Amino acid sequence: MPPRSDEPRRDATTGSRRGSSRGAAGRGGDPRTGEPGVGGISDARAYTPRGRTIRESSEQRAGREERTGQRRNPRASRSGDPFRPALQVLDGGRAATTRAGRRENAPTTRAGVIRTVPARPRPDDDEELPPPRRRPARAPRRPDRPAARRPSRKRPRPPKLAEPRRRLRLGTLLVLAIFATIGIRLVFLQAVNTPAYAGAGVDDRLTRVDLPAPRGAILDRTGAPLARSVEARYVFADPTRVKDRMATARLLSPLLGVPVSELAEKMKRRGDSQFQYLARGVDIPRAKQIEALELAGIGVHRDERREVPGGDLAANLVGFTSQDMVGLEGLEARYDDLLEGVDGKRVYEAGLGDLNAPIPGGYSMTTPAKPGSSLVLTIDRDLQYQVQQVLGRQMAQTRGSVGAAVVMDSRTGEVLAQASHPTYNAAKPEQSQPTDREDAPTSFVVDPGSVHKAITFGAALQEGVITPDTTMPVANSITQGDTVFSDTHRANGRRMSLPGMMAYSSNVGTIEIADKLGRDRLIDYQKRFGLGQPTGVGMPGEASGRLLPAEEWSGSSYGSVPIGHSVDATPLQMAAVYATIANDGTYVQPHLIKEVVDGQGGRRTPAEPPVTRPVLSPANAAALRTILEAVTTVDDATGVAARVPGYRVAGKTGTGWRLVDGVKQPGEVASFIGMAPAEKPRYVVAVFVWSPGGEGGTVAAPAFREMMGFTLRHYRVPPSGGKAPKFEVFPR
């Protein structure tokens, strides 16, 4: 290899020297020998990417343009960066190129192959790259010369690189989706579920305190309490925390009034139970003493106790409640919904542990309790007491008997007193028998007997069958069907007046009047007077009684029904019959409720007005009262024992039977129902006494006398101004 020239190199575009002569650089050979020299770095830079020099490429392009007559944009003819010429890769060490850039056949002594590696053109090159060089057409292969088999070299494909843009887009979308999901969830929580989560948080801090509503009171007509609720305490035990049952029971027994053994049994552990009542309705001072003992497992809490100031006063009317203030019997049960209040509550936020106190400014809501309404009865407490005392004393003369007494205001239908015997203490109902707690005036079903004769006489007067002056012969007995009906006071066929028939309670005379009246009209007046249906006085379980339907009448019924047999009625129903007579023939429904007092504002609501209907004309009612007055006026009359000193009394005695489920009971039911003053009646008193031995006749009339006398004095009714009329039993 000849030595490298020391001349400076010539730049490819300016022709300056860069280490070789012009001729050597332009022709690519050795100027001294004329042989193509070995290409150096300078020669390699002089070639284009296709293996031609820049000059050769320009000359070749100029010649092509002259032949075709086309000119190209000189800016587009730039081949590339002149400072980045193509490198010539030599196989065999020498290049075989001509000035024009055409490849000539190499000498047979050299088998060198020239390969060029094009350089990437720069975007600011002024010359356009030359078109690709076409290979000369191959000469047909000679048949006698086998084709040279060129080795096939398959260039390996480079691995496909990931696209960063696609990866970036995918990642961006994924991040945006995550943020969108989080944002939507936050909006949902803040806008939609906020109340629910806030409420759940508040619930954990809320404390609820019940505000019990007191039960309404039951008052008499003057406002005096017959039953009322008072605040109390209940004492309870947690058996799982009680340490010494016997020692605890001994400390509590004198305070609660409960035996030690009973308390110890209640505190006995039973499974996982953590609550057991020890006492209900404990007075507040006594409850404070129990709290002061600080006994393990013993607690005290607010309670309500039903207080009955009178004990047994009107107990059969008022009834009682359970320890949970639920009405069980009497008016307490009948008007339980009205008397029961609506509990309130207080809900507030409080801390936990030692900070268990209302949080200032926290949530707080109070629903006030609504106390129950109070019932104001028509009962007069003082009169009720006296009636009960009288009934009790009179009933003491009989053994195993049942008594009922009713005092009514004939003009208004108000029940002023309603007593039963036996009775009980409503404050301690557990100590009584169920039969002691029945209200006899509304549940005591009897055959009323002769007190029913007032209905027969009244219907006959109203229908014009008889007049107040009617007289008729009365036999000692009469037969109806297969039954003979007789009189106790024998008339022996003499003519008797209507007052005489009533005074001596003539069965025969009454039956004969009923025969003239007729069956259907008698049944009609029984209904008008209120028999056969409950009075609706307000007591639960009131009996309706029963009238014998016309189709069930037998031959004997024409004799039994007019005198008060084969008829089922209650003492209150029969008292309403006589009140109708006393009220000038107008029936007024008996009732016990006067008004209702609102538990919140004290607003008073009168009870519904009673049902009224005319039964008799005032004239016929007055005539009937006069007839009934003979019962207490005529000598040897049946009701002489019912006279009230200073007052004229109209009434009637009766003797009937007691019926239990339609079955006649042994003994008799004696009764007396009367009104006073007879000339202008104000009050009606009814007394019914059933005794197994039949001693009621000696009890009913005297009991009426005492009760009516006290009632007239209690209400300051002046004595009768005139004397009772003179009655002729057997007129001439």
Rounded Cα–Cα distance for residues 26 and 46 (Å): 8
pLDDT at 6: 46
pLDDT digits (tens, 9 = 90+) for 104-140: 444 444 444 444 444 454 544 444 555 555 555 555 5
450 is catalytic: yes
Q: Confirm whether 665 is domain-assigned.
A: no
Q: How confident is the model at residue 696 (pLDDT cuts 50, 70, 90)?
A: confident
pLDDT digits (tens, 9 = 90+) for 572-594: 999 999 999 999 999 999 999 99
Q: Confirm whether 340 is domain-assigned.
A: yes
Closest C-alpha among 29, 15, 13, 14 to residue 5: 29
Rounded Cα–Cα distance for residues 731 and 490 (Å): 15
Q: Confirm whether 169 is domain-assigned.
A: no
More confident residue, 34 or 427: 427
Residues 348 and 226 in one domain: yes
Rounded Cα–Cα distance for residues 722 and 589 (Å): 31
Q: Which amino acid is at 564?
A: G
- Residue 303: which residues within 8 A CB-CB, separation 6 or more? 231, 232, 233, 234, 280, 281, 282
Q: Which amino acid is at 288?
A: K
Query: Is 23 strand, coil or helix?
Result: helix
Distance of CA 418 to the CA centre of its chain: 38
Q: Which amino acid is at 555?
A: G
**Phi, psi (5° rounding) for residue 111?**
-110, 30
Neighbours of 428 (CB within 10 A): 12
Q: Confirm whether 201 is domain-assigned.
A: no
Q: What is the CATH number of the domain that holds 329?
A: 3.90.1310.10
CB 91 within 8 A of CB 115: yes
117-121, 545-549, 617-621, 695-699: least confident range: 117-121
pLDDT digits (tens, 9 = 90+) for 329-368: 999 999 999 999 888 888 888 877 666 778 887 778 888 8
pLDDT digits (tens, 9 = 90+) for 630-659: 999 999 999 999 999 999 999 999 999 888
Q: Confirm whether 397 is domain-assigned.
A: no
Rounded Cα–Cα distance for residues 230 and 309 (Å): 11
Whole-number Cα distances in Å, 279 to 116, 233, 299, 604: 118, 9, 11, 36
Residues 487 and 565 in one domain: yes
Asked if pLDDT for residue 442 goes beyond 60, the answer is yes
Neighbours of 250 (CB within 10 A): 13
Of 42, 229, 410, 450, catalytic = 450
Q: Confirm whether 233 is domain-assigned.
A: yes
Angle at CA of residue 344, ends 338 and 349, nearest 5°: 175
pLDDT at 158: 73
pLDDT at 60: 60
Query: Is 310 strand, coil or helix?
Result: coil
On the question of a cis peptide bond just before residue 677, with omega within 30 degrees of 0, the verdict is yes
49-53, 144-148, 571-575, 600-604: least confident range: 49-53
pLDDT digits (tens, 9 = 90+) for 457-484: 999 999 999 999 999 999 999 999 999 9
Residues 238 and 363 in one domain: yes
CB 692 within 8 A of CB 400: yes
218-219/374-377 β-pairing: parallel
Q: How confident is the model at residue 224 (pLDDT cuts 50, 70, 90)?
A: very high
Distance of CA 140 to the CA centre of its chain: 111
CB 452 within 8 A of CB 459: no
pLDDT digits (tens, 9 = 90+) for 283-332: 999 999 999 998 999 999 888 899 999 999 999 999 999 988 999 999 99
Kindly state the average pLDDT of the residues 23-42. 44
Q: Confirm whether 133 is domain-assigned.
A: no
Residues 609 and 467 in one domain: yes
Claim: this prediction has a pTM higher than 0.75: no
**Averaged pLDDT of the chain:** 82
Q: Confirm whether 309 is domain-assigned.
A: yes
Per the structure, the count of domains in the chain is 3
**Phi, psi (5° rounding) for residue 329?**
-145, 165
Q: Which domain holds residue 490?
A: 446-614
Of 117, 134, 167, the position where a domain reaches its end is 117
Q: What is the CATH number of the domain that holds 482?
A: 3.40.710.10
